[in-house]
Structure 1
Amino acid sequence: MSVVVTEAAMRRDEEGSYVGRTVFSVEGHAARYEITFYSKRGKEWDYSLSFAGEPGSEEQFLALDAMLEEDDELFDQLLDAALDAGDTGSGEEG
């Protein structure tokens, strides 16, 4: 599956927690997606997936969400895009 990142950002909030987002498209999906990331220390990441703009197929959305749970490489690709774009210091996960 081909993923194209169109926007990415990461920052640290006033408590030092990481807050970021990546907007991307997936080959074969009409809608674009946005995944937001949150981590207190940059190790354990919570995320939320949503449509970026107009909603698309719920079936494709649910399949992508399930894939993010299973495919660490895909998740890391999207997280790394946000970390690389961010103003978070070193970008290290430790």
Structure 2
Amino acid sequence: MQLKVQGASMAHSEENGYLGNVVFAVEGHGEPYEVTLQSDTGDDWNYSLHFLDTPGTEEEILAVEEWLEADDDAFDELLYAAEQALEE
């Protein structure tokens, strides 16, 4: 799978830690996705994946979920985009 980041944001606060969002498209999928990233310390990340606006197919989102779980490079690309947004 290939992903293309379309936008990213990240904020940090003492009480909530790091909270970021990345909007991205996956080659061959009909709808864009948004992943929400959260970490208390910036080391161990939780995430939630959903369609950005219009729901796509369950098969597509499950495939992306499995891909992000299995491919550290893909997850790291999304995390990097959010971290870069924090530095701006």
> TM-score, normalization: structure 1?
0.88
Q: Distance in 1 between matches of 2:59 and 2:5?
A: 21
Partner of residue 60, structure 1: 60
More helix by share: 2
| Local SS of the residue matching 1:19 | strand
Q: Distance in 2 between matches of 1:64 and 1:2?
A: 10
Mapping 1:81-92, distance limit 5 Å: 81-87=81-87
- The alignment's C-alpha RMSD in Å is 1.4
Corresponding position: 1:51 with 2:70 = no
**1:48-91 CA distance string (max 9 Å, x none):** 00000000011010011011111000000001000001158xxx
Partner of residue 24, structure 2: 24
Moved over 6 A (4+): none
Q: Distance in 1 between matches of 2:28 and 2:45?
A: 27
> TM-score, normalization: structure 2?
0.94
**1:8-65 CA distance string (max 9 Å, x none):** 0000134150000100000000010000000000000000000000000110100110
How many residue pairs get matched? 88
Q: Cα distance, 1:7 vs. partner?
A: 0.9
- Structure 2: which 5+ runs fail to align? none
- Structure 1: which 5+ runs fail to align? 89-94
Corresponding position: 1:33 with 2:14 = no
